[in-house]
């Protein structure tokens, strides 16, 4: 068990473009993924991208059955996604609330594609290819933005929909 420090907004390492993973099935990659799950679970996160712990690789994890930070969100399957490519399946965008472990204590309303195709590989280099919508699509777009150096506040259109979690959602704990 190894919980890593999560970088916070303002750290220039969160603004880099991540490099593709080229070596699979290595002990190094397995350890990194284990640490990312430990770190995400310790923080009650819905997802985590490698750059958030200072590792500049195209690797994200996400998924949960029930998440105290997003109590109304439907289940998202636990996924390790490497070298992802995202494609919208329609032009339709939907606004929804997001938080980020690198932007603690805040939430903002962010437009995302509602219907999404994504592809990539898992830790063994095996292909992942899915069509998703709703919160699943939102989480993937949020996490993959980290690989391009984009944090969700950069996508907010209306800053009257940006604020402190405990003010916006009183009673929602577990968000720091």
Cβ closest to Ni ion, residue 21 vs residue 142: 142
Place of tokens 């919508």: 133
Cβ closest to Ni ion, residue 126 vs residue 154: 154
Q: How many degrees, rounded to 5, is the angle at CA 12 between CA 118 and CA 5?
A: 80
The one among 14, 29, 36, 100 contacting Ni ion by CB under 5 A: 100
Q: Is 143 among the catalytic positions?
A: yes
User: Least Å distance between CB 169 and Ni ion?
Assistant: 17
User: Least Å distance between CB 108 and Ni ion?
Assistant: 11
Instruction: State the number of binding residues for Ni ion (CB under 5 A).
Output: 1
Cβ closest to Ni ion, residue 90 vs residue 148: 148
User: Least Å distance between CB 36 and Ni ion?
Assistant: 12
Give the DSSP H/E element, type plus range, for residue 78: strand 76-88
Give the separation between CA 155 and CA 85, rounded to whole angstroms.
19
> CB within 8 A of 148, min separation 6: which ones?
17, 18
Phi-psi region of 55 (alpha: psi -120 to 50; beta: other; left: phi over 0): beta
Q: Which residues bind Ni ion (CB under 5 A)?
A: 100
Active site residues: 143
């Amino acid at each position: 068990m190894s919980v890593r420090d999560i970088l916070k907004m303002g750290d220039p390492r969160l603004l880099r473009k991540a490099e593709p993973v080229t070596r699979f099935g290595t002990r190094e990659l397995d350890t990194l993924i284990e640490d990312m799950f430990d770190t995400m679970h310790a923080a009650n996160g819905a997802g985590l991208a490698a750059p958030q712990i200072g590792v500049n690789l195209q690797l994200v994890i996400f998924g949960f059955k029930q998440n105290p930070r997003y109590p109304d969100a439907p289940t998202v399957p636990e996924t390790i996604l490497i070298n992802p490519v995202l494609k919208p399946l329609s032009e339709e965008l939907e606004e929804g609330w997001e938080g980020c472990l690198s932007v603690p204590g805040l939430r903002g309303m962010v437009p995302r594609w509602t219907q999404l195709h994504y592809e990539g590989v898992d830790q063994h280099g095996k292909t992942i290819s899915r069509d998703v919508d709703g919160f699943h699509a939102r989480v993937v777009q949020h996490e993959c933005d980290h690989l391009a150096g984009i944090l969700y506040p950069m996508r907010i259109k209306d800053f009257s929909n940006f604020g402190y979690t405990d003010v916006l959602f009183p009673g929602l704990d577990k968000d720091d």
